[in-house]
Each structure stands twice: as C-alpha cells, then as structure tokens.
Amino acid sequence: MLFFTQCFGAVLDLIHLRFQHYKAKRVFSAAGQLVCVVNPTHSLKYAPTRCAAVQASAEQGILPPCHHHEAVHDPQLVPCTCPLFSCPWEGHLEVVVSHLRQTHRISILQGAEIVFLATDMHLPAPTDWIIMHSCLGHQFLLVLRKQEKYEGHPQFFATMMLIGTPTQANNFTYRLELNRNQRRLKWEATPRSILECVDSVISDGDCLVLNTSLAQLFSDNGSLAIGIAITTSKVHSSEAEI
C-alpha cells in the first residue's frame, strides 16, 4: 500500500506539471518557447543577511567593514547571491552559478526566450519564485517576489539580475511580458549586476511592480506566466564609443 501510494502521488505530480505547461503554452502562443514551472519558496532570511546589513549601515551613515560591491574587477570573495536564505557561503563570482545549483537547487533554463510560470500566487508574503536563465553566453537570475511594502498591501516585484559585473550587465536588455485576456503588459530594462543585491533593487522599485489586483488580472487559476526575452544592447555600446 505504501508503494502504491508513493507511485500514485508521483503520477498526480506529473499530471499537474503537464497541466501547468499546457496553461503556459496557451497563454503564450509563440511556438517553441521553453516553459519552466516554478514553485514558490517562503523566504527564510529573516536573520540579517550580509546584503541587508550593508544597506542598513548605509542608511545609518555607517560604513561597513567590507566593500566588495565597490570594485568591479576585485578578485575578492563575494557572498551568496541567493535572496532566499541567510547563506554564509562566500566564493568567487565564477562559481556562484555552481553554488546556486548545487546548494540551493535552483533550476536553470537555456534559450533566448522562455516562459516563467509562477504557481500558487495566493500564498502570503514574503514568498519568492526564482530561476536561472542561461542565454547569450551568460547566466541571469530571475527573481519574482511577493512582499508587503506597506502593511496589508502585498505587491509582486520581478527583476532580472546578471551573474556578472555591472559593466557586463550594461551590455544586455531584458524584457518581461504578461499577456492574457487580450491584455499585454511589458517591462524592458537593463539587468542589474548580482553584486548590487536583489533586495536593494526591489526596495528601489527598479523592476516590474504589480499590485495584487493587477497580478490577478494576468494570472490563471493562481499561476502567473511571464515571458522573458534577453537581447544584447547596442545602445550602450555606441554610447561607450562616444
């Protein structure tokens, strides 16, 4: 009976996954787009993270002892960039992707255009949906967070971070698109470097921001499909030459 129960549960999970893929394909009619179903994870980083400590110190006018954000090409170790946990890990920027995949089990999807399908949007804040996106020879971290910026008023924040330096990030442009019920909403911007801290990007509002009613307008049975496209930015190249 135990064996039968486990197998039956696995079959139900597979059916649910296939159904979520079908819904995403229906929302985004573009053929050939890769779909990634992302389950929510409640944030466990209530203990002050290194990034949060740096931000709090800056607001109080106190300089923190570590300045790893200032030097773009500094070979010093950087802290874990996963916004979910208070992870004590430190390492070089080149091995951040391996740490995120092996330690935090964050999925990675390849392709110029993908569909990010976040499930269970009704869960209380704070909740995160995270995936890595491999494109154009670089890795990006997409973070969708449900957070109460004002008490009793949760909002959704979506941003794309390059796992690289700010100089490298300026070479790309990312687009987030929501499309449902003959409505379309797009956000286009330059990705921020993972060295700049996800928390600060969200607190500054330099990302796609949705209130609850707007998120419900584009959601389908509690799931939110976000189309993602990344391109190289020729504008920044020409500006640099000038």
Phi, psi of 40 (to 5 degrees): -75, 155
Phi-psi region at 162: left, alpha or beta (left = phi > 0; alpha = psi -120 to 50): beta
| Percent of the chain topping pLDDT 90 | 37
Rounded-to-integer distance, Cα 175 and Cα 198, Å: 17
Alpha-helix residue ranges (DSSP H) falling in 60-209: 96-102, 166-169, 198-204
Residue type for position 36: C
pLDDT band at 62; cut points 50, 70, 90: very low
Residue 52 lies in a domain: no
Residue 26 lies in a domain: no
More confidently predicted of 68 and 163: 163
pLDDT band at 63; cut points 50, 70, 90: very low
Helices (H), strands (E): how many in the chain?
7, 14
The one-character DSSP state at 125 is S
Number of domains in the chain: 1
CATH of the domain at 79: 2.60.210.10
Separation of CA 123 from chain center: 17
pTM given for the model:
0.71
* Range(s) of the domain holding residue 216: 32-41+73-232
Residue 128 lies in a domain: yes
Residue 67 lies in a domain: no
Residue 174 lies in a domain: yes
Residue 178 lies in a domain: yes
Residue 21 lies in a domain: no
Rounded-to-integer distance, Cα 160 and Cα 163, Å: 10
Residue 22 lies in a domain: no
Rounded-to-integer distance, Cα 60 and Cα 57, Å: 5
Q: Which residues contact 87 (CB under 8 A, 6 or more apart)?
A: 79, 80, 103, 104
pLDDT in tens, 178-225: 999 889 999 999 999 988 888 889 888 999 999 999 999 999 999 999
Instruction: Give CA angle at 61 (148, 146), nearest 5°.
Output: 15
